[in-house]
Structure formats: C-alpha cells, structure tokens
Structure 1
Amino acid sequence: MNKMGTITGFTFKNKVKTKSFMVTTIVLALLISIGLNVPYFITLFNGGPIGGGASGKNPVNIGLLTTEQQDVAQKLEDFSSAQGNQAYRFIVSGDKDEAALQEDAKAGLIDGYLKLETVAGQEFPKPVLYSTDDISPQITTAIESALQSVKLDVVVKDVLTPEQKALITTPVKLTAESLSADDGEAGAGAEKSMSPINYIVVYLLIILLFTSTMMTGNMIASEITAEKSSRIMEILITSVSPLSQMFGKIIGIFMVGMLQIGIFGAVIAGNILLPHNRAVLDDFNLSVSDINIAVIVYGLIFYILGYFLYAVLFAAVGSMVSRTEELGQAVLPITMLSLVSFYIALFSISAPNILLLKVASFIPFTSPTAILVRIGAGVAPTWEILTSLAILAVSILVFGWLAAKIYRTGVLMYGKRPTFKELFKAMKAYKI
C-alpha cells in the first residue's frame, strides 16, 4: 500500500509540474474567463447598450411627449411607476415639444422619447419610440406590455372593475407535469421542466465529463506506453508490483484531474459573481440560487465513477502497446465509446424522457452523462439513480479486475501487439 501511495504521489507531482499541464490549465482558464465575459466586452465595444445590458445598472429614461394624448401618457407613466424597480422609467415632458425632447436626447438627459400619435378613427394612439441608440429587446417588450395594459384601461374604461382589469393583465403561467413518473417523488420533481440555469449547468457538466475523462485517460495510457517503450518498466517491475503501478498511476492522475476541475470551477464561480456578469444573468432571468444542487452532487459522483471505469480501460490498452506511435489507434475504440456517451446526452438534453436516454442510463459506459441529463430535468426517480450507480460501481470492479490481469501481462510483452488468444493464455498464468 505504501508503494502504491508513493507511485500516486510521484505521478501527481510529476504531472502537475509539467509545462503542458500548466500551459493547458492557464489557457483553458483564460478561455473560460473570456467566454463568460463576452457579453460584457460586446457592450464595451458598442459603447454600452441602452438598458438591459451587462453593465446597465441605471434604468432607461424615456421621455413622454404629452402635447397629444395627455390622458394616455399620464396613465402610462402611472402604470410604469406602480411596477416598482424597472429597467426603464417614463418621464412626463410637461410643456416640452418634440424638438425640445430631441435636444434632451442628444444631450444625454434622456435615452429617448415616446410619441403617442393620434390616428383618425382609432380610440388608442399609435406609439412611436425614438432613441439615439438601439434599445434592447427586453426594454421594448416591457414598454409594449405597459402599452397593452393601458390600452385595455382606455378601451374598456368603466365597463370592468379594477380587479377584473388586474386579472386580465396578469400573465398566465403554465405548469408542466410528466406522466412517465414511476413514483410520487419523481412526479414531484417532474412538475417543473429544466430551468435555463440548470440546462446550462448540465450542458457544461456533460462537456466537462467528456473532455476531462479523455484528457486524463490518454494521459494514463501515454505514460504507461512511454515507460514500457523506454524499458523503464523492466526496472520498475522489480521493485513495485504491476497492480500497485497501475492503480497508483490511475489515482495520481485522478488527483490531477480533480485539481484542474477545481481550478476551472473557481474561475467560473469568480467570473459569474462579477457585478457585470450578475447583471447579465438578471437580464436573462437566470439566478444562481435556482441551480439544482442534486445535479452538482450527482455530477461529481458520476464523474468519479465514470473516470475510474474509463481509466482502467486506458491503462489496460496502454500496457499492451510497445510504441507511443501506435497508441492513438489502440485507444480509438475507447474514444469512440466515450463519444457515443457524449453525443447521446448532448443531443437528448432537450428531450430527457426518450427511450434511448432511459436505456443509456443503465449502461455503465453511457450512464455518467445520460443519467445526469435526466437528473437535471427532474425525471429520474431515486431508484433509477441508485440502480445506475450500483451498475456502474460493479462494472468498475469487473473491468478493474480484467484490466489488472491485462496490465500485469501486457507490460512485459514487447514487439507487436498481442492477439486476444495470446493475451488470454498469458493472463491464465497470473492470478489477481
């Protein structure tokens, strides 16, 4: 056990100190930071959008031209004020004419003005919004909603009571419920569809699981093949057992992967908590508090188990290859298997209840990503999650035992890659 700990510590320190690890980690952290701040950079290059932008904390000031339709303008201003803290606000122009409002807009006193043009034969005026810069769609949609409410008040006048008007203008919220839930707990979780913020989290976790597993898996296989091709393995095998070597390398590189994930997680959290990025989340009605903690917890558990399943396979394949030039072709089947898992989850994220995703949730090579989609959507009952975890854990034991037999045999077999018949005969000579 001490020897395996030594191998683990040596592998971890050796990989962390390499230039490739440092450069890759720094470059990816920078790319993540740039990607998360793209909306803010766009606003800077555009001189800052009017309201609803990543940096727009102050509400948009919209002047109300009251030379015509004074009653409608006043109702509009009263309605907007009653809504509380809005991304925009109406400012009644008083005695100012349109030319004066244009001068105010050019001077930056207001961001634009709303003109209510009287149309012959129509009870409600035609609204026209003038602005010096483009106004965000969120603001124009909010103004249209205010106009619609005022229009209802103007058209019906005293026909409806204030309570009836309020009931009509209140948005209707749809609650979706799944009929595929197998128990009460799943049914309660299926009442809500995957929220946008959880959709983003699941999407990022799927990508993280795939890229991290592939990077660390190839790292394990290449290190074993490099030691074997340089004949260092013959020296190591005399002092450390093959099993201690294999699992020591797997755990050491797992620690490297967890360190890298921790760094990326800190970078993402730090960027999201920046004031201008929090404003962007608010603009898209995204709240960090809406993140389903179960997605994060189960994502970490399935990542760890998925890593060890693929890691033992990469280690077994790496032990059978004598030259690093042949490694890419040798690990191709494992790479294709991982790609299948990645694409099944990625293309099914918008339809978490399809049969393919349900079946994939119980196949050990695809379950880490497939079940994560269903957990994020709240359509995976607890028994399915636990069953998937159990199958994955048993698969790690089975393939770990098989990989240990292959590793112990393969590290001392040189020349061309052994056939399955040759490998099977050599494996029978060793007992784990």
Structure 2
Amino acid sequence: MNKMGTIIGFTFKNKVRNKSFLITTLIMVILLSIGMNIPYLIKVFKGEDGNGAQSSGVHIAVIAENGSAASQLLQAYAKQPGVDATVTPYPAADDAGLKQALSDDKVDGYLTYTEQSGAGLGSVVFHAVDDSAKVKSFLQSALQQVNAQLIAGDRLTPQQIAAMNAPVPLGTEKISADGEAAQDKSHPLINYVIVYVLLILFFMSIMMTGNMIAAEVTSEKSSRIMEILITSAAPLAQMFGKVIGIFLVGLLQIAIIAAAIAANLMLPHNSGVLQDFNLDLGQLSVSLLVYGIVLYILGYFMFALMYAAVGSIVSRTEDLGQAAMPVMMIGFVNFYVPLFSISTPNTLLVKVTSFIPFTSPLSMLLRIGVGDVAAWEIILSLLLLLVTIFVLGWLAAKIYRTGVLMYGKRPSIKELRKAMKAYKI
C-alpha cells in the first residue's frame, strides 16, 4: 500500500508538472474565456466598452415630423419605472443625427407611423438591421398602451389603461387521456446546458487521461525502465497507482475549467448573461451533479483500465495509436450517442446504451439530466457498470502483469491467454 501511495504521488506530480498538461489546460481555459466573452469583446472593438457607449436595454428612435401625441406618449411610456428603454424623436428618417446614431449602434432602429384621422394608431413600421426579441417585446407593450391612450383620450387614467392592458395570468395543468392530472416531466433549460457541458468535459477528460496512462506504460516499457520498476514495486501496484494518480490529474483539470467558467460568469459584463438566455441556476438539480460525478468516476476507471492493458502489450510508442483504436472507438460511441440525442433523450437507442456498460456513463447521464428515467434503471445501470469495472480490473491486471515484460511484436490473443494462465491473481 505504501508503494502504491508513492506511485500515485509520483504520477500525479509528474503529470501536473508536464508541459503538455500545463499547455493543454491553459489553452482550454483561454478558449473557454474567449468564447464566453465574445459579445463583450465585439463591443470593445467597436468602441462600446462602457465609456459613452450604448447601455443595456432598448433604444428606439421615432420619427415625429411635426411632433405628435403618439410620439409624446411613447416617450412617456419609456420613462416609466421598470422600463429599460429610451425613445428619442427625430424630425425625419434622413436626418443626419439619426443616420449617425444608427451607424454608431446607439439606437436599435427607428419607428415610423401614421395616425388615423379618428382615434388610435394607423400603420406602424419598425426599421432595423436586426429586430431582436427584446425590442419586439418592448414595442408590442408600448404601442398597445399608446394606442389605448389615443383611443381613450382623457376618459381613462394611465393607471386604468395599464390595468386594462395587463395580461391575465393563465395557469396550465397537463392531464392524461382519462382526464386525470398528469405529472409535468419537463426539465428546465439549465439542465440541458449542464448536460451538454458535462458530456463534452467528461469525454475529453476520460480520453485524454486514458491516453496518458497508455502512453506512460508504453514509454516505460520501450525504454526498458519497466524492468527496473518491476523489481521495486509489484505490477498491480504500478498499474493501479498510475490509474489513480492520473485520475487525480483529470479531477484537477476539471476543477480548473469549472473555476474558469465560474470566474468568467462573475465578471461585471457577464452578470446578466444567464438571464439573457433564460437560465436559472436555482432550477439546477443537485442530483444531476451528484450522478454526474459518480458516472464520471466509474467511466474513467473503466476506460483507464482498458488503456492500461493496451499500453502494456505495446512495445513501441509508434504502435500505440493502432493498438488503442478499438478503445477509442468505444469512447466515441459513448460520447456521440448521447450528444446527438440530447433533444430526444427517451429514444430506444439511448435507453439501450444506458444499460451497456461501455456506453452507459454518458447515456445514463443524459437520461438523468433531461430524460425520463426510473430509480431502478439508474441502480441497475450503475450495478452493471461496477461489475464490468471489477471484471476489467481483474482482466487488465493479468494482461498488465504478463504484457509489461513481453517485448518484440505485439502478442496475439492466443499468446496472451497462454501467458496469463501462468499468473493467478
């Protein structure tokens, strides 16, 4: 046990100090930070970094050739408490000031309308390069109130008009075919985002750390260092020490990436990014994160043991890619099935793959996060995965024990079986 602890510590320190780990992690953090700050960077390059730049909210220009009641009412509506908008009147659509404001992105567009001879607004046209949902929502509410005030005149107070235009709350309840109330099984949008991020993060971490294990075992074997190591520590202590040590490296990398995401979300210009995408962290299921960690740990050890076994039977690092190809293909299936099924998590394919141990870590994560899954299905999937890990651990130990001292060409399955029979765990 002491020797295994030494191997774990040595492997962890060696990989963390490795330039490839540091550079890869740094690149991932930089790319992630750039991706999360692209909208702000675009504004900075356009000169909209907050110094005299357009503030958040809606900015509308309205054409009021001779001044009009509709324009004044629209400006008054924008000044109400809780309305994040500005309405600026201009005399004509070809006004130089309006063109400059459009060019500098200080207004989202301009509004032209014709008032009816009787009451109310006539035709209304909004001219904009990009009419966002926020602008549309403001215009719908504002023009509805302006139209109501033009029609009502002095007969109704602004409070009465606002109450008249206020939407009536409408609740919904799903029912089954027999009229009984059905349970709403819809998942919040934040779950889809978390599942998508975890799928990518776990796949990259498992594949990178798995390749680290195989490459380290093969390099030690090809340089004949293995012959020295085998005299100081048992092969099983070496294998499991490397697997656990690199597992800690993977956890560290995930923690660094998670910290980078949290740090970017805490930046002032990103404070409202979650609200802009209708994401509420309060709706995030804690059980999803717990199951995600459990499935990541189990999935890691399953693939790590396979990579360790593959690395032990290869004598040259040049042959490692070809030997590890079957394991990599299993990893790709494990990743792509849930990734392309994220919008349809309850298909038969996802259900079947969530019970196959080699594909269950990420497929079951998808079903837990955004699908319909029973508790017994989760338990059964985890049990099958645990049994597979124990079987692979026993098999990998026998392969590793015999493979690390077999040099020359890659041994065939028949040769491996013959050598493994001579060694009992």
Same-fold call, TM cutoff 0.5: yes
Which portions of structure 1, spanning 4 or more consecutive aligned residues, are displaced by more than 6 angstroms? 66-69, 99-102, 154-158, 161-164, 171-179
Cα pair distance change 1:284/1:101, threshold 3 Å: farther
> Matched residue of 2:124: which SS?
strand
Residues 1:31 and 1:39: Cα distance change in structure 2 (over 3 Å): same
- Tell me the residue number matched to 2:114: 117
1:103 deviates by 4.8
Task: Establish whether residue 329 from structure 1 lines up as the match of residue 316 from structure 2.
Answer: no
Q: Are residues 74 and 383 of structure 1, via their aligned partners in 2, closer, same or farther at CA, if it must alter by over 3 Å?
A: farther
Pick one of 401, 405, 411 that aligns with 2:404.
411
> Aligned to 1:116, what secondary structure does the other structure show?
strand
Cα distance between partner residues in 2 of 1:310 and 1:430: 23
* Aligned counterpart in structure 2 of residue 306 of structure 1, from 299, 309, 317: 299
For 2:175 and 2:286, locate their aligned partners in 1 and report how far apart those are by CA, in whole Å: 21
Contact 1:352 1:373 in 2 (8 A): yes
Is the CA contact 1:374–1:380 (under 8 Å) kept in the aligned structure 2? yes
* Corresponding residue number in structure 1 for 2:373: 380
2:235 is the alignment partner of 1:238 = no
Specify the SS of the correspondent of 1:126. Answer: strand
Residues 149-187 of structure 1, C-alpha deviation per residue, up to 9 Å, x if partnerless? Answer: 3488479979xx9799557x45867777999xxxx9xx8
Q: Secondary structure at the match of 1:127?
A: strand
Q: Distance in 2 between matches of 1:49 and 1:130?
A: 26
Q: Match for 1:404: what amino acid?
A: A
Deviation track 1:56-77 (CA, whole Å, cap 9, x = no partner) reads 6544444556678956556655
Identity %: 49
Q: Distance in 2 between matches of 1:365 and 1:177?
A: 38
- Alignment check: 8 A CA contact 1:76 1:147 kept: yes
Structure 1 distance, partners of 2:392, 2:17, is 31
Native 8 Å contact 2:7 2:242 kept in 1: yes
Distance 1:301 1:123 in 2: 62
Q: Greater RCO between the two (CA within 8 Å, min separation 6)?
A: 1
Checking the alignment, whether the CA contact within 8 Å between 2:312 and 2:399 is kept in structure 1 is yes
Kindly indicate whether the alpha-carbon contact (under 8 Å) linking 1:57 and 1:279 is maintained by their aligned counterparts in 2.
no
Is 1:431 matched with 2:424? Answer: yes
User: Is the aligned partner of 1:357 residue 2:354?
Assistant: no
Shift of residue 115, structure 1, vs aligned partner? 3.7
User: Is contact 2:227–2:405 with CA below 8 Å preserved after alignment?
Assistant: yes
CA distance in 1, matches of 2:288, 2:403: 39
Q: Could you tell me whether the CA contact under 8 Å between 2:16 and 2:249 is conserved in 1? A: yes
Alpha-carbon offset, residue 138 of structure 1: 2.9
Aligned to 2:203: 210
The question of whether the paired residues in 1 share the 8 Å contact of 2:239 and 2:308 is answered with: yes
CA–CA distance in structure 2, aligned partners of residues 49 and 128 of structure 1: 31
Cα shift at 1:48 = 3.6
Shift of 1:414: 1.1
**Equivalent pair of 2:58/2:138 in contact (CA under 8 Å):** no
What's the offset of the Cα at 1:314? Answer: 0.3
From 122, 127, 136, the counterpart of 1:141: 136
Q: Specify whether residues 350 and 238 from structure 1 end up closer, same or farther in structure 2 by C-alpha distance, changes over 3 A only.
A: same
Measure, in 2, the Cα distance between the counterparts of 1:266 and 1:388: 30
Following TM superposition, by how much is the alpha carbon of 1:343 offset from its aligned partner in structure 2, in angstroms? 0.7
Residue in 1 that maps onto 2:20: 20
Aligned to 2:42: 42
Q: Which residue in 1 is equivalent to 2:271? A: 278
Letter in 2 for 1:308: F
* Counterparts in 2 of 1:68 and 1:311: CA distance versus 1, 3 Å: same
Letter in 1 for 2:138: I
TM-superposed deviation, 1:403 = 0.6
Match of residue 126 from structure 1 = 123
Question: Shift in Å at residue 384 of structure 1?
Answer: 1.7
Deviation at 1:2, TM superposition (A): 0.5
Among 186, 209, 229, the alignment partner of 1:192 is 186
Q: 2:413: which partner in 1?
A: 420
Question: CA offsets per residue over residues 398-425 of structure 1, 9 Å max, x none?
Answer: 1111111111111111111111111111
- RMSD between aligned residues: 3.6
Q: Distance in 2 between matches of 1:264 and 1:178?
A: 44
Q: Give the 3 Å change call, closer, same or farther, for CA 177–156 of structure 1 in structure 2.
A: farther
Structure 1 unaligned runs (5+)?
A: none
Q: 2: CA distance between counterparts of 1:142 and 1:205? A: 33
Separation in 2, partners of 1:213, 1:239: 29
**What one-letter code is carried by the residue in structure 2 that aligns with 1:144?**
L
Shift of the alpha carbon at 1:383? 2.1
Amino acid at match of 1:118: E
TM-score normalised by the chain length of structure 2: 0.84
Deviation at 1:247, TM superposition (A): 0.1
Q: In structure 2, give the amino acid aligned to 1:283.
A: D
Paired residue total: 412
Using a 3 Å threshold, how does the CA distance of structure 1 residues 278 and 5 change in structure 2: closer, same or farther?
Answer: same
For structure 2, which runs of at least 5 residues remain unmatched after alignment? none
Distance in 2 between residues matched to 1:163 and 1:278, nearest whole Å: 31
User: What secondary structure does 2:248 align onto?
Assistant: helix
Asked if the contact 1:345–1:357 (Cα under 8 Å) also holds between the matched residues in 2, the reply is: yes
Q: Does 1:262 align with 2:262?
A: no
One-letter amino acid matched to 2:15: K
Q: Does 1:251 align with 2:248?
A: no
TM-score (norm 1): 0.83
Written as runs of structure 1 = structure 2, the 5 A alignment for 1:3-18 is 3-18=3-18
Q: Deviations over 1:261-318 (max 9, x none)?
A: 1111101110011121122322222233333322222111111110000000000111
1:219 aligns with 2:209: no
Distance 2:132 2:92 in 1: 24
Does the C-alpha gap of structure 1 residues 214 and 175 become closer, same or farther in structure 2, counting only changes over 3 Å? Answer: farther
Partner deviation per Cα, 1:98-141 (whole Å, 9 max, x = no partner):
59997588589x8465443236799632224468xx56613321
Distance in 1 between residues matched to 2:168 and 2:333, nearest whole Å: 46
Conserved? CA contact 2:63–2:91, under 8 Å: yes
